[in-house]
Structures are given as C-alpha cells and as structure tokens.
Amino acid sequence: MSAADTTTAKVPPVRQSPPSGSTAGGPGKPGKKSDGGAGVPWLLLAPCLLVLLLVLGYPLARLVILSFQNFGQPQLWGFQEAEWAGFDNFTKILGDGEFWTVVLRTVLFAAGAVIVTMVAGMMIALLLQRVSGWVKTLINIVLVASWGMPIIVATAIFKWLFDADYGVLNWLLSRIPGVDMIGHNWFASGPQGLAVIMLLVVWGAVPFVVITLSAGLTQVPKELEEAARLDGAGAWGVFRFVTLPILKPIIVMLTTLSVIWDMGVFPQVYVMRNGHPEPEFQLLTTYSFDRAFVVNDYGTGSAIALVTVLLLLGVVAVYMRQMLKIGDVE
C-alpha cells in the first residue's frame, strides 16, 4: 500500500498533470489501478483546492502583504491606498518591550496548559485501565460531556464558578480550615486570572488526550509488560520502559497538537475578560486582535499574527512528520 507513496515521494510536486504523464508514469507498480489516467485525481481534487485557494490561500497571502503595509482606518474605508512600510511593522513590534512580554506570557501559558493536559490525560488514561467497569463508564460519560461542551459555554460556566461574589469555588475553598476566599477576585491579577483560564483550557482538552491515549494503551502488548515485570521492573519501570516508548508516536502527536491549539487560545480570554482583556491578560492572539480591531492598526496586527504562525512552524513540522509516518503505514 505504501508503494504509491514511495514511488511518488521523490517526484517534485506539480500542479497540473501533463497529459503525456500517464505514459511516462510507467514506474508505478504493475497491477496498481491507474485506469482513468492521471487527470482523474486532479479533477476530484479541483473543487477542494479551488475553495482552499480562495478561503485560505488568498487571506494568507494578504496577511503577509498586510504585515508590510501601513493599513489603518482610512485604508479600510477606501479613502486612501495602503502604502508599503517595508519592515517597519516588524521593527516596531520586535523593538517593543510589551510585545516580548506578551510572547513570553503566551509561551508560558501554552507550555503550562500543554504539560498539565498531557500529565493529567496520561494519569486518567492509566487510571481507566484499573477501575471497575461502571466507574470507567462514568468517567467516559463525564469526559465526553466536557469534550463536547462548546468553548463559549464552558467559558461562561467557568466565569460563573470563579465569580468573586457568588462563585461556588470561593465558597468551597473557604470550607478548608484557615482559608477565607469569600469575595476573592480571581481576575484582579494577570497570573491568577490566566491560571483560571488555563484550567478552563485544560478541562476542555483533557478528554481528547485521555480517549486517544486509552485507545493507544489497549495496543500495548500484555506480554511485554509481564516480561518487564518478571525482569524486576516496578510499576514505574514498566511505564517508563514499556508503555511510554510504545505510546511515543501518539504522545508526540498529541503534544504538538496541544501546543498548536493552546497557542491559539482566543475566545476563552476574550469572553472571560468581557471583550476587553487587560494588558496583563494579553496573549499573542488577543494582542494581534487588539492591535488590528481596537487600535485600527491592521498592519501591525498582521505582523504579530504572522510572527505567531512562524513561531508555530517548528511545532507543526514535528506534527506533520509524525502524521506522515503514520500515513505511510497505511
């Protein structure tokens, strides 16, 4: 099945298939269905590629162009042509101390969310293997319910849970002897507020991780675990030297996906702060949004968005390699 991949992989990608290509396409494995010629797949792909080109290709190109332009309200209303700014937008943001604070905050936020999600997800997945059937069912129901919860609804719920005056969480924490949290405003300080938002992100992200890891755990051969145990490995040893290496492809995939998702957190912060995140709540996404739609400096906003995408590129590369490896097997 992977023959098709290996034979085509070395060939430089072409947009249109040359009509004579079907005769030259001889190296394709004999017996492989190649009826219909090379035009058929491209015909099937055409609508998809066209739509993507319009809705993604064009805006992406526009994003790059915008980041090199001065584009404000007059340009938006068409009173003035956009003018080229060279690297001005980039030098402006890169020389801005606030930008770097935001970058650092975003990276810390995403790293925290990813680590907590992965660790909690792994622990729950391992726990699922050990509990009785009915507890397993209960956990699964709860996980799927929180997974399917619309982000916006989840944000509303967390806002209510952590409300300073009537939030149930402050009341619950105050039950602990010696703790008085009644009236505590979680959003008075940036780090605390972002911790709450991180919890919200983790709550929504853990189910996917647990369910994917659980599926992976069922494929860990029991014999390997037993063999390790006979060789004197403890529970940790079995996990570290048997389970973890086997799950590695899944873990890499989940971690990279989580990084990408958690770097792109937007509605949670935006709604939690009633549409106006304070400076100490700004992440790269809200910061870019703020520059563009609040300050009306679309050029700088685009530059920030572009930098965010570039920051993610490395992570995306790892993810793609993993996905392609998996794809090759099929």
Partner 1 sequence: MSAANATATPATSPAPAVTRRRKSKLGWNVLGLLVVLTAGFPVYWMINTAFKPAKDAIDPDPHFFPSTFTLENFKRALDIADFWGPVLRSLTVSLVVVVIGIAVGLLAALAISRFSFRGRKAVIVGILAVQMVPLVAMIIPVFLLLNDLGQYDRLSGLIITYLTFILPFTVWTLRGFIVNIPKELEEAAMVDGCTRTGAFVRVVFPLLAPGMVATSVYAFIQAWNEYLYALMLMSQQNQTATVWLSNFITKNGTEYAPMMAGSTMMAVPIVILFLLVQRKMAAGLTAGAVKG
Contacting partner 1 within 93-112 (CB under 8 A):
none
Q: Does 63 bind partner 1 (CB under 8 A)?
A: yes
Q: Does 69 bind partner 1 (CB under 8 A)?
A: no
Among 153, 227, 294, 295, binds partner 1 (CB under 8 A): 153
DSSP 12: P
Q: Does 47 bind partner 1 (CB under 8 A)?
A: yes
Among 58, 84, 87, 100, binds partner 1 (CB under 8 A): 58
Report the SS3 class of residue 69. strand
# residues contacting partner 1 (CB under 8 A): 130
Report the SS3 class of residue 43. helix
Q: Does 88 bind partner 1 (CB under 8 A)?
A: no
CB 284 within 8 A of CB 310: no
Report the SS3 class of residue 153. helix
Q: Which residues from 245-284 bind partner 1, rule CB under 8 A? A: 246-247, 249-250, 253, 260, 263-264, 266-267, 270-271, 274-275
Q: H or E stretch including 259?
A: helix 244-263
Q: Does 179 bind partner 1 (CB under 8 A)?
A: no
Q: Does 294 bind partner 1 (CB under 8 A)?
A: no
Binding segment toward partner 1, per CB under 8 A, in 88-96, 99-107, 111-119, 210-218 = 210-218
DSSP 280: G
Rounded Cα–Cα distance for residues 309 and 294 (Å): 21
Q: Does 116 bind partner 1 (CB under 8 A)?
A: no
Rounded Cα–Cα distance for residues 86 and 190 (Å): 34
Residue 117, number of CB atoms within 10 A of its CB: 26
Binding segment toward partner 1, per CB under 8 A, in 91-99, 105-113, 186-194, 321-329 = 321-329
Q: Does 142 bind partner 1 (CB under 8 A)?
A: yes
| Least gap, CB of 284 to partner 1 (angstroms) | 9
Binding segment toward partner 1, per CB under 8 A, in 30-38, 85-93, 103-111, 187-195 = 30-38
Burial class (CB in 10 A: 0-12, 13-18, 19+), 217: middle
CA atoms within 13 A on the CB side of 168: 4
